[in-house]
């Protein structure tokens, strides 16, 4: 068996049966692999790459991932598991000059890069995919609309003499339309999905317990919410009267409406569309304020109102002059000055302190959506003697510039070495990065996206049993988001299992037939 893949180093890591079975499908057809975090999607990519290089000895492999830290991680894995000279497995970034990149492409066997870099080089003409026998799209749930993956996949199929595509993700999404779009963009012919309950995967899955911690929204918060809801409902009513919205309008409906109205207004100069666009923009701002209040707390809401006060647009000024919004802003300022924090913050501090008291070496990841919340969590942790760091992406427009990608890698390495207890993450910590042996994952707030829910949860239970703790504010969007992502995840699995190849190849014995 091992002799069949001459370029794979079996002494370093022996593939599991389900990985070989999935790879057996992936070498024959363009395949979308859906596998929980920590169960070795990258190893499947390495196996398929080894096979393609064996079948087409002078060909090349393209491996893409959304971020440079993730690309660097993949380069390390490919170097470890393949019997190929290290200098032939290259990491290409936009920081390398185009002339140099052209030479690297020419000499490399395996090219690892971000899709944006590959897209740009294809457009410049310094890269041709003629001799690439495999293109791997990591985090392939991103392959929708005009994301760079879509362009690269199209060019790859057009240019390659022997194209084969492999998509990897923990969750492509819960809507049939989105999954179908990903399949269409990546020219997918087969779907291979495994969940923790599949018989061939179950022996390798660590048990992950779940705990739900509920808190009540304080009365002071409810007063602000009531004022903002009144202001929001008035604007929703205006849009309903114009037959632009139905009664169940949510943020996504408002954003969709805003995009449609903007198109009509800017292309045709329709005044009615302009008025409706302004009302919709106000509704979106108020809706976001309610979301911050319910799921994040007073400081993030206070910071948001402060930013809006500096906005000179007529829409924002009109919204801020609404008597109910004026009162809501004043109440928020009052609570901020009194030091009010969201009850979830108190509960989070209590949970983390107790966990560290039980085990000084415990490793915890706290996920939060907003940087203001992340910074507030870090401040409270520091005040309480909790050793924590933040992991956030780069932000060009934000006052908080975030972390450069080399800084992100350094922090992850320190966390993996156990140099501190708690990592407080934005969405950057959800996708792909190898964070080892996390004991607890805490959702500071819940997310409506099933993709993000699965990715967050997958940070624990990778190499040892773990636990996921959901902080939920009763009777708020926090609770609604929890159930939305729960049901979407169930729906996603049902869709994908129905798509799974019925008569797929059973073992690797068929690889060279």
Looking at 89-93, 359-363, 429-433, which range is the least confident one? 429-433
Write the CA distances from 238 to 241, 284, 393, 495, integer angstroms: 5, 14, 39, 38
Same domain for 288 and 397, yes or no, is no
- Residue 499, in any domain of the structure: no
In this prediction, residue 36 carries a pLDDT of 86
User: What is the pLDDT of the chain when averaged over all its residues?
Assistant: 90
More confident residue, 115 or 1: 115
Please name which of 207, 376, 208, 399 lies closest in space to residue 292, comparing C-alpha atoms: 376
Looking at 134-143, 169-178, 229-238, 327-336, which range is the least confident one? 169-178
DSSP per residue over 285-324, as a string?
HHHHHHHHHHHT-HHHHHHHHHHHHT---HHHHHHHTSHH
The pLDDT tens digits of the residues spanning 439-485 come to: 999 999 999 988 889 888 888 877 788 999 999 999 999 999 999 99
Beta bridge mates, 478: none
The pLDDT tens digits of the residues spanning 157-213 come to: 999 999 999 999 988 888 889 999 999 999 999 999 998 888 998 888 888 899 999
- Residue 488, in any domain of the structure: no
**Torsion, CA 324, CA 326, CA 331, CA 332, rounded to 10:** 110
| Residue 154 pLDDT exceeds 60 | yes
- Residue 491, in any domain of the structure: no
In this prediction, residue 509 carries a pLDDT of 46
Q: What percent of the chain has pLDDT over 90?
A: 67
In this prediction, residue 503 carries a pLDDT of 43
Same domain for 143 and 241, yes or no, is no
Same domain for 325 and 422, yes or no, is no
Same domain for 375 and 292, yes or no, is no
Same domain for 330 and 371, yes or no, is no
Tell whether the torsion through CA atoms of 112, 114, 115 and 118 is positive or negative: negative
Q: Single out the residue in 288, 306, 337 at which a domain terminates.
A: 337
Helices (H), 141-270: 148-159, 176-185, 219-241, 251-268
Looking at 47-61, 113-127, 296-310, 424-438, which range is the least confident one? 424-438
CATH code of residue 258: 1.20.1320.20
| Residue 401 pLDDT exceeds 50 | yes
| Residue 268 pLDDT exceeds 70 | no
More confident residue, 496 or 248: 496
Please name which of 436, 430, 395, 390 lies closest in space to residue 413, comparing C-alpha atoms: 436
In this prediction, residue 156 carries a pLDDT of 98
- Residue 495, in any domain of the structure: no
- Rounded to whole angstroms, the Cα distance separating 432 from 453 reads 13
CATH code of residue 348: 3.40.50.300
Please name which of 38, 39, 59, 53 lies closest in space to residue 8, comparing C-alpha atoms: 53
In this prediction, residue 404 carries a pLDDT of 86
Taking CA 348 as the corner, what is the angle to CA 344 and CA 350, rounded to the nearest 5 degrees? 120
Class of residue 95 by CB neighbours under 10 A (exposed 0-12, middle 13-18, buried 19+): exposed
Q: Single out the residue in 285, 304, 337 at which a domain terminates.
A: 337
| Residue 511 pLDDT exceeds 60 | no
| Residue 151 pLDDT exceeds 60 | yes
* Residue 26 CA, distance from chain mean position: 24
Domain residues for the domain of 445 are 208-216+342-474
DSSP-derived 3-state class of residue 18: helix
The pLDDT tens digits of the residues spanning 25-70 come to: 999 999 999 998 888 999 999 999 999 999 999 999 999 999 888 9
The CA-based diameter of the chain, rounded to the nearest angstrom, is: 76
pLDDT level of residue 398 (50, 70, 90 thresholds)? low
Same domain for 36 and 173, yes or no, is yes
Same domain for 319 and 387, yes or no, is no
Same domain for 358 and 255, yes or no, is no
In this prediction, residue 128 carries a pLDDT of 97
Write the CA distances from 411 to 240, 263, 406, 419, integer angstroms: 49, 43, 9, 10
Counting the structural domains of the chain, the total is 3
Same domain for 326 and 357, yes or no, is no
Q: What percent of the chain has pLDDT over 70?
A: 93
- Residue 496, in any domain of the structure: no
| Residue 284 pLDDT exceeds 50 | yes
| Residue 371 pLDDT exceeds 80 | yes
Same domain for 325 and 350, yes or no, is no
Residue 36: HSE in the Cβ half-sphere, 13 Å Cα cutoff: 26
Same domain for 188 and 227, yes or no, is no
- Residue 178, in any domain of the structure: yes
DSSP code of residue 449: -
In this prediction, residue 267 carries a pLDDT of 61
Same domain for 184 and 241, yes or no, is no
């Amino acid at each position: 068996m091992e002799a069949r893949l001459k370029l794979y180093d079996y002494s370093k890591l022996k593939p599991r049966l389900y990985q070989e079975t999935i790879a057996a499908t992936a070498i024959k057809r363009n395949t979308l692999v859906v596998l929980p975090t920590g169960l070795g999607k990258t190893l499947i990519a390495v196996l398929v790459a080894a096979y393609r290089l064996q079948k087409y000895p002078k060909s090349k492999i393209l491996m893409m991932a959304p971020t440079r830290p993730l690309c660097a991680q993949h380069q390390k894995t490919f170097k470890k598991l393949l019997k190929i000279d290290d200098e032939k497995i290259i990491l290409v970034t936009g920081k390398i000059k185009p002339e140099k990149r052209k030479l690297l492409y020419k000499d490399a066997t395996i090219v690892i890069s971000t899709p944006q870099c590959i897209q740009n080089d294809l457009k410049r003409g310094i890269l041709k995919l003629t001799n690439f026998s495999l293109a791997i799209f990591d985090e392939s749930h991103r392959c929708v609309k005009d994301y760079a993956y879509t362009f690269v996949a199209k060019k790859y199929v057009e240019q390659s003499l022997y194209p084969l595509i492999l998509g990897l993700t923990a969750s492509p999404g819960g809507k049939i339309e989105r999954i179908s779009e990903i399949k269409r963009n990546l020219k997918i012919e087969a779907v291979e999905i495994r969940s923790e309950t599949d018989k061939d995967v179950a022996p390798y899955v660590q048990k992950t317990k779940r705990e739900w911690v509920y808190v009540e929204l304080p009365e002071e918060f409810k007063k602000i919410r009531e004022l903002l809801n009144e202001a929001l409902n008035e604007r929703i009513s205006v849009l309903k009267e114009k037959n632009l919205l139905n009664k169940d309008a949510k943020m996504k409906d408002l954003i969709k409406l805003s995009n449609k109205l903007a198109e009509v207004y800017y292309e045709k100069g329709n005044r009615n569309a302009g008025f409706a666009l302004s009302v919709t923009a106000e509704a979106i701002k108020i809706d976001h304020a309610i979301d911050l209040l319910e799921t994040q707390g007073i400081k993030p809401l206070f910071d948001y109102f402060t930013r809006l006060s500096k906005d000179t647009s007529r829409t924002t000024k009109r919204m801020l002059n609404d008597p109910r919004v004026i009162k809501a802003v004043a109440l928020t300022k009052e609570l901020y000055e009194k030091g009010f924090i969201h009850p979830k913050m108190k509960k989070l501090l209590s949970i983390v302190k107790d966990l560290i008291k039980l085990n000084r070496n415990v490793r915890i990841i706290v996920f939060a959506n907003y940087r203001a919340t992340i910074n507030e969590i870090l401040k409270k942790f520091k005040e309480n003697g909790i050793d924590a760091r933040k992991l956030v992406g780069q932000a060009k427009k934000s006052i908080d510039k975030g972390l450069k990608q080399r800084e992100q890698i350094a922090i992850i390495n320190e966390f993996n070495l156990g140099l501190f207890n708690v990592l407080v993450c934005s969405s950057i910590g959800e996708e792909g990065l190898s964070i080892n042996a996390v004991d607890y994952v805490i959702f500071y707030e819940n997310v409506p996206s099933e993709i993000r829910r699965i990715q967050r949860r997958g940070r624990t239970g990778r190499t040892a049993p773990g636990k996921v703790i959901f902080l939920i504010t009763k009777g708020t969007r926090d609770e609604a988001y929890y159930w939305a992502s729960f049901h979407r995840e169930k729906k996603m699995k049902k869709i994908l299992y129905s798509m799974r190849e019925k008569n797929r190849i059973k073992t690797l014995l068929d690889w060279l037939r």
